[in-house]
Structure 1
Amino acid sequence: MTSLPFFVYGTLRPGEPNHDLFLRGRTDSEERARLHDAALYDGPGYPYAVEAPGSVVVGELVTARPEAYPQLLMALDRLEDYAPGDPRNLYERVERRVTRDADGTAVRAWVYLAAPSVTARLRTHGELIEGGDWPGRR
């Protein structure tokens, strides 16, 4: 499996509850980035990103320390209730292109998007987070 950075947009962002629990001491870098063609919905309590052409989700591109990568990947998969191929997943871990805010370069990263059944429910009954910025929703 490719050791990609992670694009985080919710409770794993700096200042949010899961950042220190999961990321502190395990990363080489964390930088502002954007996921294009995705929108953000309130969970509630945590957000879901869904495919949405023309929309943008604001977050951080997190590069794990190489020695911490395997354990971090497993921990984040557990946090997001993701298991490859499980139809009960709330999220799917997918590879997407994200754009660094600092210099506009595009980078491939792991992103946890809402699973198809969750996406369908959010599109009909969910609360869209305008501007795609989880901390900025308040």
Structure 2
Amino acid sequence: MKLPFFVYGTLRPGEHNHDLFLRGRIRSEEPGLLPGAVLYDGPGYPYAVEAAGGTVSGEIVTALPEAYGELLAVLDHLEEYVPGDPRSLYERVARDVTAGDGRTVRAWVYVAAPAVAARLRAHGTPIKGGDWLTRR
């Protein structure tokens, strides 16, 4: 499935990984919201943890068709996601996100892997309002 990506942390415009990983590989980006998740502060980057009642702010990023495979591999590596590996920090999952104009878009989202999510639920610090850009 060649889905767009929903980014909510260091890949957002103005954040340090945006230009490093997305420049030259994307066709478009637009504001979006991920319902059913709570954002937690991490060691320099956030984690979205699936949970009822929360909403996470971010961007819906659409890759250039010719760059899709490369971008998918680069983002999997950045997020330390290896399919089936229980040591992964994140899992890449397909979720419905809401675009700024209200339409629903199916997108890849990197959410906290089960062990990380359990630790965050027990001891983590949620980011009020679910927006990484307002955490400071």
Q: TM-score, normalised by structure 1?
A: 0.98
Q: Please tell me whether residue 44 in structure 1 is matched to residue 17 in structure 2.
A: no
Q: Which amino acid aligns with 1:107?
A: V
Deviation at residue 44 of structure 1 after TM alignment: 2.1
Deviation at residue 13 of structure 1 after TM alignment: 0.2
Equivalent position of 2:125 in the other structure:
127
Same amino acid, percent of matched pairs: 71
Give the alignment of 1:27-66 within 5 angstroms.
27-66=26-65
Partner Cα separation in structure 2 for residue 50 and residue 87 of structure 1: 16
Q: Which amino acid aligns with 1:126?
A: G
Partner Cα separation in structure 2 for residue 27 and residue 84 of structure 1: 24
SS of the residue corresponding to residue 81 of structure 1 reads coil
Equivalent position of 2:134 in the other structure:
136
Deviations 1:27-73 (A, max 9, x none): 11000000001000001200000011111000000000000000000
Which of structure 1's runs of 4+ aligned residues deviate more than 2 A?
Answer: none
SS of the residue corresponding to residue 11 of structure 1 reads coil
Q: TM-score, normalised by structure 2?
A: 0.99
Partner Cα separation in structure 2 for residue 62 and residue 7 of structure 1: 6
Partner Cα separation in structure 1 for residue 132 and residue 73 of structure 2: 24
Partner Cα separation in structure 2 for residue 129 and residue 76 of structure 1: 23
Q: Which runs of 5+ in 2 are unaligned?
A: none
SS of the residue corresponding to residue 82 of structure 2 reads coil
Partner Cα separation in structure 2 for residue 54 and residue 93 of structure 1: 21
- How many residues are aligned here? 136
SS of the residue corresponding to residue 127 of structure 1 reads coil
Give the alignment of 1:96-115 within 5 angstroms.
96-101=95-100, 103-115=101-113
Deviations 1:85-137 (A, max 9, x none): 00101000000000001x10001000000000000000111010010000111
Q: Which amino acid aligns with 2:52?
A: P
Give the alignment of 1:4-83 within 5 angstroms.
4-83=3-82
